[in-house]
Amino acid sequence: MSESILQIRDLTVTFATPLGPLVAVRGVDLDVGAGELVAVVGESGSGKSVSFLAAMGLLPSTATVQGSVMLDGVQLVGASAKQMRSVRGRLLSMIFQDPLSALNPVHRIGAQISEMLRAHQKMSERAARARAVELLEVVGIPQPGDRAMQYPHEFSGGMRQRVVIAMAIANSPKVLIADEPTTALDVTVQAQILEVIQKVQKQFGTAVVLITHDLGVVARVCDRVNVMYAGRFVERAAVSDLFDAPTHPYTRGLLASLPQAGKERLVPIVGFPPNMLRPPSGCAFRARCADAISDCEHAVPELRAVGAAQSACIRAAELMQPR
Amino acid sequence: MTQPEITTPVVTPAAGGALLSVRGLVKQFQMKAVRGMTGRKRVVQAVSDVSFDVAPGETLGLVGESGSGKTTVGRCVLRLIEPTAGQVMFEGVDLAKLSFEELRVVRRRMQIVFQDPYASLDPKMTVGASIAEPLVVQGVGGDHNEKVVSLLELVGLSADHARRFPHEFSGGQRQRIGVARALALDPALIVLDEPVSALDVSIQAGVVNLFNDLQARLGMSYIFIAHDLSVVRHTADRVAVMYLGKIMEIGDAETVYEHPTHPYTKALLSAVPLPNPRVERSRSRIMLEGDVPSPVNPPSGCRFRTRCWKATDLCAMQEPVLEVRSHGQLSACHHPEE
Ligand SMILES: Nc1ncnc2c1ncn2[C@@H]1O[C@H](COP(=O)(O)OP(=O)(O)OP(=O)(O)O)[C@@H](O)[C@H]1O
Ligand SMILES: Nc1ncnc2c1ncn2[C@@H]1O[C@H](COP(=O)(O)OP(=O)(O)OP(=O)(O)O)[C@@H](O)[C@H]1O
Ligand SMILES: [Mg+2]
Ligand SMILES: [Mg+2]
């Protein structure tokens, strides 16, 4: 991997809740190389969104963020609100599942994009409007000049997500975080949006972190995968290695549970993810793991190299041997 | 309102006679006039002339993009809503001809399970009471507790779950509770409307297995509605692909997935991301342009033609009807893939 543009170290996020502190993200490390497309996958509640909302400085005041998030040499943890406003949209952008939440219903699409441009760049109103139309074209909106004059409600779900991507890349950020950007869309539209994201990555060299729980999407577009479970990364690997030779029992479980042509019977992962208010000692997956041994209760396993991948299973190497 | 045109229905006859026969089903929704639109009523063509059979013990998958009419078909079949036109025959009886009381009895034999395990259970009722509710409503006598326990065990839960409340259960468990409730009256047909869409894949697998196991044991039929084509492939014997209220292609599931003949089916299948990087990176993909048109003003002729790369003038002028293709399935296309 080339030098990393986004470097996360020991990121921990704790929410104050009426039931006590909830540690949603537990010491996460991540490196994203310039222009890379990496995936973050994991079950609902595993901490995918919270990790990156923390990086964006978008968590509510009940959250305490510890650790380090370096973006192109700038420390984001502990940065002031003013500093974060200057970073968001310029260096780091994030898009979400629901594009409507990112759009202002009473402003024209073109005006919203040019406002985004002028917030970070010295630009005349006219130049910004022209650039907005260009951006709409980049994300594949037909008749971008006319569409720029319309309002969000005049756009379909897929078209809105394109607009949100146009806004997110308006100021050529180094990193784009896409949090389940296609989950609410139909598959034919999902395919279009994934193409737009890949185009942005290739054409502008934007690094993309794609958060998803769809392993099919990962297989289609990502270079590297980070698998999250109960607030930690438990495996990271190149996409082909992950599917060919998963190193963590949770990853193996995920793959076994997927319906695929020719598969006779699905194998669910037994049990449920742990309650994050009272997580178990040791490996958080052990209660659901058929390969757990008593050692799994003791220390929280760190990510360690297993072949070309990294795995947080103390038995990874042993279990990878053909049995 | 223009009278919906009903073409001669063509269906693949279900082996051994049909449990459910749907013929020429039409459902239109009247929409209130929008302000400034001079009081003209708009009509949503949600389902337009749909015909199919479901055999006893069979699973028919219903796939298609959002708004294609899948849920509306399911609700018309159960007569939760009144069809605009067409016939629904269940166990040889035309549901439209039944009195209210007769319909109530037939309804026991048909159940529905919804997508959202959170919304479909009453939070103030114990799980046991929720499961027994259909028995109470239908005035079934006998010991409900015993029945509830056997139903809980049938869906992989245990007797002591009966006294607990829905919020104490996970999504997958709640979906199991919904299934137990649907099974209470020994239905012959269950409409499963996106039954696993809200669940994580690792949990989804267990619920999918449950549906398959229950069917093997109890022999009921399913209409399995989903937009996840991989799940449907795994569960369905036959599959119907819907687009804008019409069936575009219907037939044996393996055949339709392996040899799609309708361009829409091909495009839909090629859009589905498969969890296999080698396959994903080598296969050619059909990129459909644009979005699904409005069901208020569906395109003339073939409804798919505005997004179809094979469309010709004929497709705009004449609506294709379902025809048998060489692998045995039916598709409605002037330029089918063979
Ligand atoms: N504002 C908050 N206050 C308290 N707890 C929170 C808050 N936001 C998130 N959490 C908790 O943090 C954990 C991680 O949530 P997060 O949203 O990151 O999950 P996720 O992996 O993105 O899941 P999904 O796939 O459902 O989006 C969960 O247990 C969640 O309940
Ligand atoms: N009560 C209603 N009033 C007006 N229009 C309706 C009503 N119910 C459904 N529709 C419309 O009918 C069409 C078919 O809807 P339906 O819910 O059957 O689609 P679906 O295939 O189940 O979609 P999804 O995958 O989103 O659940 C849509 O255009 C929908 O907006
Ligand atoms: Mg999330
Ligand atoms: Mg529906």
What is the interface pTM, i.e. ipTM, of the complex?
Answer: 0.89
Phi, psi (degrees; rounded to nearest 5) at B77 = -60, -45
**Domain boundaries defined on chain B:** 20-30+43-253
| Helix ranges restricted to H, chain A | 48-56, 81-87, 109-120, 125-138, 144-147, 157-169, 187-204, 215-221, 239-244, 249-257, 316-320
Chain B partners within 8 Å of A43 (Cβ)? 200, 202
Is residue B49 a contact partner of residue B55, using CB atoms and an 8 Å limit? no
Q: Say yes or no to pLDDT of B286 above 90.
A: yes
Is residue A165 a contact partner of residue A210, using CB atoms and an 8 Å limit? no
Cα B54 to its chain centre, rounded Å, is 11
Q: Say yes or no to pLDDT of B132 above 90.
A: yes
Q: Say yes or no to pLDDT of A149 above 50.
A: yes
Please give the CATH topology (third level) of the domain spanning B20-30+43-253.
Rossmann fold (3.40.50)
Whether A216 contacts chain B with CB within 8 A: yes
Q: Say yes or no to pLDDT of B41 above 80.
A: no
Tokens of A1: 């991997």
**Out of 3.40.50.300, 3.40.50.2000, 3.40.50.2300, 3.40.50.620, which CATH number does the structure's domain A4-222 have?**
3.40.50.300
Q: Say yes or no to pLDDT of B7 above 50.
A: no
Inter-chain CB proximity A216 and B273 less than 8 Å: yes
pLDDT (0 to 100) of residue B31: 81
pLDDT (0 to 100) of residue B127: 94
pLDDT: which is higher, B222 or B100? B222
Tokens of A76: 């984001």
Tokens of B215: 């069917």
% residues pLDDT > 70 (chain B): 93
Inter-chain CB proximity A188 and B271 less than 8 Å: yes
Alpha carbon distance A314, A235 (integer Å): 12
B67-103 pLDDT, tens digit per residue, is 999 999 999 999 999 999 999 999 999 999 999 889 8
CA–CA min distance A44, chain B (Å):
7
Domain(s) of CATH 3.40.50.300: residues in chain A = 4-222
Phi, psi (degrees; rounded to nearest 5) at B315 = -65, -30
pLDDT (0 to 100) of residue B172: 83
Whether B227 contacts chain A with CB within 8 A: yes
Chain B partners within 8 Å of A256 (Cβ)? 205
pLDDT (0 to 100) of residue B1: 40
Tokens of A57: 């400085």
pLDDT (0 to 100) of residue B3: 46
Indicate which residue's Cα is closest to atom 29 of ligand 2.
B67
* Mean predicted lDDT score pLDDT of chain A: 94
Tokens of A108: 């024209």
Residue B47 alpha carbon, nearest atom of ligand 2? 14
